[in-house]
């Protein structure tokens, strides 16, 4: 494989500054072979079809594009997102799999080799792209008959338009031609288990969203007939999607995964050879506004929860991003957001606490009724309900407000755990990544459910929760049961929250602290209830 790079142009030193500290200069592998001074040597003679790879750089990414299969993306490094070593994230799995592959057969059913290198028939671009750039590859399939593929690169976003020209060979091949993304996407997170839990392939075909999720090492393939608006492959934070310009040209879409040791998904379209289809390739982060701007409904692959939760999750994400425009640290954004949410739910919290204190006030009378009518459950219930009516107490009043808050709490959980905006965002001191647990030290062993590390914020969270629950406990005969439940819930949340993102634990901790403060300050107005 020959790797080529254009000589530096006058804008070589005008690279945009990444939002995070730039990787070391040695991290970017520079091509070993200098660019030939004329286009003929790059394009090659009519009989020379060596695999030629060159770099293209925009303010968003650095891409390595190969002539194999007519424009295979060998590397795609995002300049706004970094791995644990502060290097640009590469979305492409290493290997020789062509990811923008056309597959076709001749009229006798024989496979046509379209994986080998194609000829670059357009002028080679400079490395640094500041305007829309076209790359045209062609492949001689039959004598003097070519298939062409053009990549139109937009430097201002993560989209590449792919135009296929089958007109010269359409009468010499079988009617069905396939085109798609092969080779999946690379895992980008330190916690590969968590990352792979989000790996999926999707297609929107026949007006329905279909998805494929397979077990590691399990080969699967599913076909979906009908017009298709797009296919997509996603990881936790990134996606690649192919969007046809004319969905009516699509006969069916196919999602598949391999039996390899890696979880690798592929997605392709099957279309008529008599068409010259165009596609939009999106390869980049799962940023809601970018995905939404494609205007094809691709945001449906984003994890915003159940259908009734999704609008709330989107609203939460919108507010966090708007607040971040004025508050540069997302940790402080979460703190301010917790205060705002607390103000929003204050009427519910007040009602809940007042109902709880009212129940505490009449608990001795409730216990007396239970003792008096312990042999007659019917009279016990009638007398208890009569007491509640007399005192104006709703036994469900303490629970109902909390139930009304549950959709918001679910939405917060989803957003804090999956949104890319919080990925690798630090807060203060030991909290270096709000999307990951705030680990203070690692254990030499693994505890079931809890994990192999100790995080600080979950400890603070369960302490605040324990205090809050203790303040809500009623007296009397039920106190022992309440204590048992309190200890159980504290231990349960301590175990599961240890592996949750620190941003989520930060929010819950502060929310609990604010609730405790409210319980101390909220007037109960229940002295007359007893």
Sheet holding 52-57, edge to edge: 33-34, 2-5, 52-57, 61-66, 72-82, 88-90
Q: Are strands 159-165 and 176-181 parallel, antiparallel or unpaired?
A: unpaired
Report the greatest alpha carbon distance in the chain. 103
In sequence order, the 6+-apart residues with CB closer than 8 A to the CB of 140 are 146
pLDDT value of residue 311: 92
Q: Are strands 265-272 and 439-447 parallel, antiparallel or unpaired?
A: unpaired
pLDDT value of residue 402: 67
What are the tokens at 112? Answer: 């046509």
Structural contact between residues 127 and 252, judged by C-beta atoms closer than 8 angstroms: no
What are the tokens at 336? Answer: 């301010």
Distance CA 98, CA 115 (A): 7
Beta bridge partners of 233: 201, 240
Beta bridge partners of 453: 442
Distance CA 498, CA 437 (A): 7
Structural contact between residues 177 and 229, judged by C-beta atoms closer than 8 angstroms: no
54: three-class secondary structure by DSSP: strand
Distance CA 514, CA 62 (A): 46
Can you give the pLDDT of all 530 residues of the chain as single tens digits? 444 544 333 343 333 444 444 444 433 433 333 333 333 323 333 334 578 888 999 999 999 999 999 999 999 999 999 987 889 999 999 888 899 999 999 888 888 999 999 999 877 788 899 999 999 999 999 888 999 999 999 999 999 999 999 999 988 888 889 999 999 999 998 888 888 899 999 999 988 999 999 887 788 999 999 999 999 999 999 999 999 999 999 999 999 998 777 889 999 999 998 889 999 999 999 999 999 999 999 999 999 988 889 999 999 999 999 999 999 999 999 999 988 888 887 777 777 777 777 777 787 888 888 888 878 888 888 888 888 788 777 766 656 666 767 888 888 888 888 889 888 888 988 998 888 888 898 899 888 888 888 999 999 998 988 887 777 665 554 556 667 776 787 888 888 889 888 888 999 899 888 888 877 776 555 444 44
Distance CA 235, CA 255 (A): 15
In sequence order, the 6+-apart residues with CB closer than 8 A to the CB of 244 are 228, 229, 230, 250, 269, 277, 278, 279
DSSP assignment string, 447-508: ETTTEEEEEHHHHHHHHHHHHHHHHH---GGGHHHHHHHHHHHHHHHHHHHTTS-HHHHHHH
Q: Are strands 176-181 and 200-205 parallel, antiparallel or unpaired?
A: unpaired
**Cβ atoms within 10 A of the Cβ of 68, count?**
25
> Looking up tokens 């809940």, which residue turns up?
352
- Left (φ > 0), alpha (ψ -120 to 50) or beta: where does 226 sit? left
315: three-class secondary structure by DSSP: helix
In sequence order, the 6+-apart residues with CB closer than 8 A to the CB of 78 are 60, 61, 88, 89, 91, 238, 284, 285
Q: In angstroms, what CA-CA distances link 166 with 73, 139, 402, 413, 433?
A: 21, 11, 61, 48, 49
Distance CA 156, CA 129 (A): 10
Nearest-Å Rg of the Cα atoms of the chain is 30
Distance CA 270, CA 228 (A): 10
Sign of CA dihedral 11, 16, 22, 27: negative
pLDDT value of residue 11: 40
Q: In angstroms, what CA-CA distances link 417 with 146, 403, 413, 441?
A: 49, 22, 6, 21
pLDDT value of residue 258: 87
Beta bridge partners of 203: 210, 231
> Looking up tokens 């998805």, which residue turns up?
211
Going by the DSSP 8-state scheme, the letter that residue 172 receives in this structure is G
Going by the DSSP 8-state scheme, the letter that residue 520 receives in this structure is H
pLDDT value of residue 34: 37
Structure pTM? 0.80
What are the tokens at 267? Answer: 């997605």
**Cβ atoms within 10 A of the Cβ of 171, count?**
12
pLDDT value of residue 353: 72
Cα 60 vs. chain centroid, distance in angstroms?
18
**Cβ atoms within 10 A of the Cβ of 122, count?**
15
The backbone torsions φ and ψ at residue 331, rounded to the nearest 5 degrees and listed phi first, read -60, -45
pLDDT value of residue 312: 92
Domains contained in the chain, CATH given = 2-302 (2.70.98.90), 315-529 (no CATH)
**Cβ atoms within 10 A of the Cβ of 188, count?**
20
Distance CA 483, CA 463 (A): 15
**Cβ atoms within 10 A of the Cβ of 11, count?**
12
What are the tokens at 514? Answer: 């604010």
pLDDT value of residue 487: 76
């Amino acid at each position: 494989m020959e790797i080529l790079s254009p000589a530096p142009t006058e804008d070589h030193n005008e690279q945009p500054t990444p939002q995070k500290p730039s990787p070391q200069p040695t991290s970017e592998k520079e091509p070993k072979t200098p660019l030939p001074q004329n286009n003929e040597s790059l394009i090659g003679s009519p009989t020379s079809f060596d695999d030629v790879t060159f770099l293209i750089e925009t303010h968003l990414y650095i891409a390595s594009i190969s002539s194999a299969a007519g424009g295979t993306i060998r590397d795609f490094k995002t300049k706004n997102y970094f791995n644990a070593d502060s290097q640009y994230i590469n979305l492409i799995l290493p290997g020789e799999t062509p990811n923008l592959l056309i597959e076709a057969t001749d009229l006798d059913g024989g496979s046509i080799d379209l994986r080998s290198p194609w000829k670059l028939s357009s002028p080679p671009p400079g490395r640094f792209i500041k305007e829309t750039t076209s790359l045209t590859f062609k492949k001689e399939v039959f004598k003097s008959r070519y298939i062409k593929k053009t990549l139109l690169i937009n430097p201002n976003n993560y989209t590449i338009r792919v135009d296929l020209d089958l007109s010269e060979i359409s009468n010499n091949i079988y009617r069905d031609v396939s085109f798609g993304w092969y080779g999946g996407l690379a895992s980008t997170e330190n916690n590969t288990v968590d990352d792979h839990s989000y790996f999926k392939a999707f297609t929107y075909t026949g007006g329905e969203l279909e998805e494929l999720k397979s077990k590691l090492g399990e080969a699967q393939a599913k076909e979906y007939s009908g017009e298709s608006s797009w296919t997509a492959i996603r990881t936790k934070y990134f996606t690649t999607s192919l969007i046809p310009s004319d969905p009516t040209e699509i006969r069916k879409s196919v999602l598949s995964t391999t039996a390899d040791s890696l979880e690798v998904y592929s997605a392709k379209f099957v279309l008529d050879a008599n068409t010259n289809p165009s596609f939009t390739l999106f390869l980049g982060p799962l940023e809601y506004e970018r995905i939404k701007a494609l205007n094809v409904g691709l945001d449906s692959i984003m994890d915003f929860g159940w259908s009734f939760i999704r609008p709330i999750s989107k609203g939460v994400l919108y507010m966090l991003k708007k607040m971040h425009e004025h508050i540069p640290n997302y940790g402080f954004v979460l703190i301010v957001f917790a205060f705002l949410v607390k103000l929003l739910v204050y009427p519910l919290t007040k009602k809940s606490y007042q109902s709880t204190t009212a129940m505490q006030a009449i608990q001795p009378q409730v216990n007396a009724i239970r003792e008096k009518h312990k042999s007659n459950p019917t009279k016990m219930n009638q007398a208890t309900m009569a007491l509640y009516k007399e005192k104006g107490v709703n036994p469900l009043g303490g629970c109902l407000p909390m139930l009304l808050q549950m959709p918001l709490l679910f939405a917060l959980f989803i957003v804090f755990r999956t949104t890319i905006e919080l990925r690798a965002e630090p807060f203060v001191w030991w909290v270096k990544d709000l999307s990951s647990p705030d680990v203070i030290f690692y254990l030499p062993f693994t505890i079931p459910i809890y994990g192999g590390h100790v995080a600080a914020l979950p400890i603070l969270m369960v302490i605040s929760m324990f205090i809050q629950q203790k303040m809500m406990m009623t007296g009397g005969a039920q106190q022992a049961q309440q204590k048992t439940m309190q200890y159980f819930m504290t231990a349960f949340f301590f175990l599961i929250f240890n592996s949750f993102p620190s941003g989520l634990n930060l929010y819950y901790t502060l929310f609990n602290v604010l609730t405790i403060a409210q319980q101390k300050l909220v007037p109960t107005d229940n002295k007359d209830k007893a």
